[in-house]
Chains A and B, each alone.
Chain A
Amino acid sequence: MKPVNQRAWFLVAPVLLLVAFTAIIPLMTVVNYSVQYVGMNTQFHWVGGLWFREVLASEKFWNALWRNLVFSGIILTIQIPLGVLIALNMPRKGWGVPVCLVIMALPLLIPWYVVGMIWQMFGRVDIGLFGVMLRDFGYNYENDPIDAWFTLVLMDTWHWTSLVALLAYAGLVSIPDAYYQAARIDGASRWQVFRHIQLPKMARVLTIAVLLRFMDSFMIFTEPFAVIAGGDPVFLSTELKQTVELGQKAAMSLIYFLIILLMSWVFYTVMTRDDGEPRTQGGVP
């Protein structure tokens, strides 16, 4: 058990001050805006819950929220199984391991705007490899919302599936060989090994993967912005960026933030559930 020591607050103080400056003050500004009307010459007028009612009654907000949820849903249904499939088939030893790890992690380290730019150059029907190949089938992400959706989902899969794969892989390599030997003695089939050994052992990392992918796809902005420059589909962050009226923008920010807060709580509960148990040190052995 950890000893109680209130002086630990001194160690936390720098973080607290810094994050207060970068998070609390800005959020308070947002709260301030959300209940006021900013007129000419930046005169503030108290309007109470008007902006909140306006946002909650606005069809654009609900559409953006709905689009975001559908997007996250599609992303999870594709990337989680795909990531697990890749992890199951990744080499466990030899030169293939570092090659796989390094190349797969590469898209994760590309600036998000450049990810969008790469896919813009790849998908354009005039200059892109992908676009030119599909041009004859009527593909054009700039005119057709369905094609735009398809491109964004493909881009996100390209960008983030590795994260799921690497997390699942970290879970897989932590399974002791003895488990597999026991399974072989029992004559377990491949499916049974997966269902009763590998999947339970991966459950924790996969939960983390689902939550991370959900959160990040829920606040996606930069990559679609780079590809379609704020056109259709409009996600929550894009809608927020495009809202001009300060109060409305602030109210929408707060509603968005509350949704995130709720998700974070789920995340926190999952992440710290097993914290009491000893953790493996040093990542992938």
Chain B
Amino acid sequence: MKQSRFAWIVPAIYILFLLTPIYWLVAMSFKTNVEITTRFTLLPETFNFDNYVKVFTDQKWRDVFANSIIYVGLNTIISVAVALPAAYAFSRYKFFGDKHLFFWLLTNRMAPAAVFTLPFFQLYSAFGLFDTHIAVALAHCLFNVPLAVWILEGFMSGVPREIDETAYIDGHSFPSFFVKIFMPLIASGIGVAAFFCFMFSWVEYLIADSLARSTVMPITTRLQALSQASGTDWGVLAAAGTLTLIPGAIVIWFVRNYIAKGFALGRV
């Protein structure tokens, strides 16, 4: 279908709309607090990196960044590892209760985090896991395991079943077939699932905030504590906020063609 010659204007305006608030955040991160609060300047008067230096030299900021990365990484590994065999089962076999189970997984993806914050606190305290990385990593499995199962199932169903049968005839055992033959075939699916687990754990706030309050405090909790306090250090907040955009910006290039698929739980 030929688009009109001026079609590009629509995405161009939209992209401008998307980038303006981000520009403001980044611009603010280069300003001094005096400039932010007293003068209205479109461009920073001088590009000073003081705010970034403050973030990088402050042990607290480094800790909260590390905490977030650790629990997000743990969650991604756990989610994909347990989801792989389950997704294979859903894509290849019928078994008692399979449809119900598949549906129930979806309800967890859709469950509001606010419903779970109260019992999570109780549960993880009871196991002595409150305020640990693993607690947040496990709690985020609530929505990431279903997500990974659904995405992987979508990719696996695209691989013809004849491949499995041929491999078994060739004498492969199930583990050897799964690791050596099947996983390379759905490598892109595993990548997409891992990316979306990483992303949804990275963007989540409410559960992480309620389970990791002090020693393993996530980055967003610190941002929240500082942004709603009086005498806010806007420059440093903007610098730390800008840094949180980087993980997403780095990985996005690799998954640009799969974004729709991942959000639609592998069903596009």
Give chain A's interface residues, CB within 8 Å of chain B: 2-9, 11-12, 14-16, 18-19, 21-23, 25-27, 29-30, 33, 85-86, 88-92, 96, 98, 100-114, 117-122, 126-130, 132, 158, 161-163, 165-167, 169-171, 175, 180, 193, 198, 205, 208, 212, 215, 218-219, 221-222, 226, 229, 236-237, 240-241, 246, 249-250, 253, 256-257, 260-261, 263-265, 267-268, 271-272, 275, 279, 281-284
Contacts and interface: CB of A to CB of B under 8 A. Distances in A.
Given A111-B220, A212-B264, A21 B145 contact: no
Nearest to B127: A21
B18 A107 contact: yes
28 contacts: A2-B92, A2-B93, A5-B94, A7-B95, A8-B98, A12-B89, A22-B142, A23-B108, A23-B116, A26-B119, A88-B3, A89-B9, A91-B7, A98-B256, A101-B259, A108-B199, A110-B244, A112-B220, A119-B21, A122-B25, A129-B24, A158-B18, A161-B14, A163-B263, A241-B117, A282-B258, A283-B258, A283-B261
Given A4-B93, A114-B223, A170-B261, A106 B18 contact: yes
A221 B113 contact: yes
A238 B245 CA distance: 26
B110 A263 contact: yes
Contacts of B17: 158
A166 to B, nearest CB: 4
Contact of A158 (B21, B154, B199): B21
B36 A127 contact: yes
Contact of B259 (A90, A108, A208): A108
B18 A171 contact: no
A112 B18 contact: no
Given A11-B89, A19-B145, A279 B105 contact: no
A118 B95 CA distance: 48
B115 A283 contact: no
Interface stretch (B44-52, B54-62, B200-208): B200-208
Nearest to A208: B264
B22 interface: yes
B21 A118 contact: yes
Contacts of B214: none
Top-7 shortest CB links A-B: A109-B248, A26-B119, A219-B112, A170-B260, A89-B10, A11-B89, A281-B158
Contacts of B215: none
Contacts of A113: 205, 220, 223-224
A137 to B, nearest CB: 16
A26 B205 CA distance: 19
Nearest to A15: B86
A76 B194 CA distance: 29
A126 B36 CA distance: 9
Interface of B is mostly: helix
A91 B18 CA distance: 18
B141 A18 contact: yes
Contacts of A272: 102
A111 B200 CA distance: 9
Contacts of B24: 118, 121-122, 128-130
A12 B146 CA distance: 12
The interface residues of chain A, by DSSP majority, are classed as: helix
Interface of B: 1, 3, 7-11, 14-15, 17-22, 24-25, 28, 36-37, 40, 42, 78, 82-83, 85-86, 88-90, 92-96, 98, 101-103, 105-108, 110-120, 122-123, 138-139, 141-142, 145-146, 149, 154-155, 157-158, 188, 192, 199, 202-206, 219-220, 223-224, 227-228, 234, 237-238, 241, 244-245, 247-249, 251-253, 256-261, 263-265, 267-268
Given A8-B95, A167-B263, A264 B103 contact: yes
Nearest to A29: B119
A6 B118 CA distance: 36
Contacts of A4: 93-95
A265 B98 CA distance: 15
B12 to A, nearest CB: 9
Given A27-B119, A109-B199, 12 more contacts: A4-B93, A18-B138, A22-B108, A26-B116, A29-B119, A88-B7, A109-B203, A112-B205, A121-B238, A161-B14, A241-B114, A281-B155
A198 B42 CA distance: 42
B73 to A, nearest CB: 15
B33 to A, nearest CB: 10
Given A14-B85, A170-B260, A271 B114 contact: no
A109 B252 contact: yes
Nearest to A166: B260
Contact of B89 (A8, A85, A128, A256): A8
Contacts of A117: 25, 223, 227, 237, 241
A174 B139 CA distance: 37
Nearest to B68: A111
A198 to B, nearest CB: 8
B111 A166 contact: no
The residue among A21, A27, A114 with the most chain B CB atoms within 10 A of its own CB is A114
